[in-house]
Amino acid sequence: MTSPILSVKDLKTYFYQDEGVVQAVDGASFDIYAGRTLGIVGESGCGKSVTARSILRIVERPGRVVAGEVWLHRDRGNGHSDAIDLTQLDEDGREMRSIRGGEIALIFQEPMTSLSPHYTVGNQIIESIRLHKGLSARQARQEAIEQLRMVGIPRPERRIDEYSFQLSGGLRQRVMIALALSSDPRILIADEPTTALDVTTQAQILDLLRQLQEERDLAIILITHDMGVIAEMADDVAVMYLGQVVEKGPVDQIFHAPQHPYTRSLLRSIPSILAAPRTKLSTISGSIPHPYARPQGCPFHPRCTDFMAGTCDAFQPRLLPVAKGQWVSCFLYQTPEEPLAVSK
């Protein structure tokens, strides 16, 4: 495998509020490679979307990145390359704005609220093209039509002058993809790209993303809570719980040899056509802790069937390799005496 084009190392994003501090992302680490898809999975409230916004430096106040590194690796040609830590850039500065949308693009979770109802979809794509490519208005309009055609929107010459509320959910999602790809980014972050879409449209959107990835050698970060989508799309998987990556590795190992109790619980909750009729779905006991009442020790221990008193509730496990390419944060594979496990 080649070197990663984006490396996230011990990223922490906290929200400082009157009621207390919300540790939305609390030490996430993973790598993204060209032409591959990293699936980030977990329950709602585990910090998946905040992680994506932290990479792009668009975390809403009072949240901010407080620690960690986000290294963007760039090939300068002739064997030369460099890397830049995005956390050190001014989030409103020219360089970060050129990277945001230029080299790293984001498909937002809900296109109806992400696309402006006051401007045509064409105007919004044209604005992005002119910002990042410096084309004239006429050239940018033609480029926008080609982008709409590329993502499978019928009659793009007409659709370009329509508003988002005139389009179906599937077409709006395709517009969002066209907008994200209009500046030829190397990395695409897709935050729940199939939310609220019917099964047929969902399959079409996923097929489109896969096709575009093959054509452009695009790196994709796919954020979802749907393990079925992860199985279909991802090459690598990062499982997040309460702002931390608790397990990561190749998709086949995660699905066929899961190591962390949380990953196993997520997989058990998937409905199966092989299950006996009227069999109840497996559930994970309890719920995600309140943001202001994080448990001491391992964050998953109050819901864990493998909980070990005096260890899991007293020490914080760290992400360690347990197999080739597979990393797990759990005391089933390490002891609290190891230097990497620190008591809180």
Residue range 28-49, pLDDT digits in tens: 999 999 999 999 999 988 999 9
Dihedral of CA 308/311/314/316: which sign?
negative
Question: Residue 144: which pLDDT band, with cuts at 50, 70 and 90?
Answer: very high
Reading the block at residue 267, the tokens are 């997989």
Whether residue 339 has pLDDT greater than 70: no
Whether residue 109 has pLDDT greater than 80: no
Q: Are 117 and 167 in contact (CB under 8 A)?
A: no
Q: How far is CA 323 from CA 64, 262, 268, 333, in A?
A: 34, 18, 22, 11
How far, in Å, CA of 233 to CA of 220, rounded?
Answer: 10
Q: How far is CA 89 from CA 5, 26, 80, 102, in A?
A: 18, 20, 22, 15
Express each pLDDT in 177-208 by its tens digit.
Answer: 999 988 889 999 999 888 777 888 888 889 99
**Residue 169 φ/ψ, nearest 5 degrees:** -60, -40
Express each pLDDT in 248-305 by its tens digit.
Answer: 999 999 999 999 999 999 998 887 777 778 888 788 888 888 888 889 999 999 999 9
Q: How far is CA 310 from the centre of its chain?
A: 34
How far, in Å, CA of 185 to CA of 203, rounded?
Answer: 23
pTM of the model as a whole: 0.89
> Mean pLDDT lowest for which of 30-34, 79-83, 235-239?
79-83
Q: How far is CA 19 from the centre of its chain?
A: 28
Express each pLDDT in 125-134 by its tens digit.
Answer: 999 899 888 8
Q: How far is CA 271 from the centre of its chain?
A: 24
Question: Higher pLDDT residue, 73 or 108?
Answer: 73
Q: Are 80 and 86 in contact (CB under 8 A)?
A: no
Confidence (pLDDT) at 1: 54
How far, in Å, CA of 84 to CA of 95, rounded?
Answer: 11
How far, in Å, CA of 179 to CA of 52, rounded?
Answer: 17
Using a pLDDT cut of 90, give the percent of the chain over it: 62
Confidence (pLDDT) at 77: 66
Dihedral of CA 150/153/155/160: which sign?
negative
Q: Are 7 and 71 in contact (CB under 8 A)?
A: yes
Whether residue 243 has pLDDT greater than 90: yes
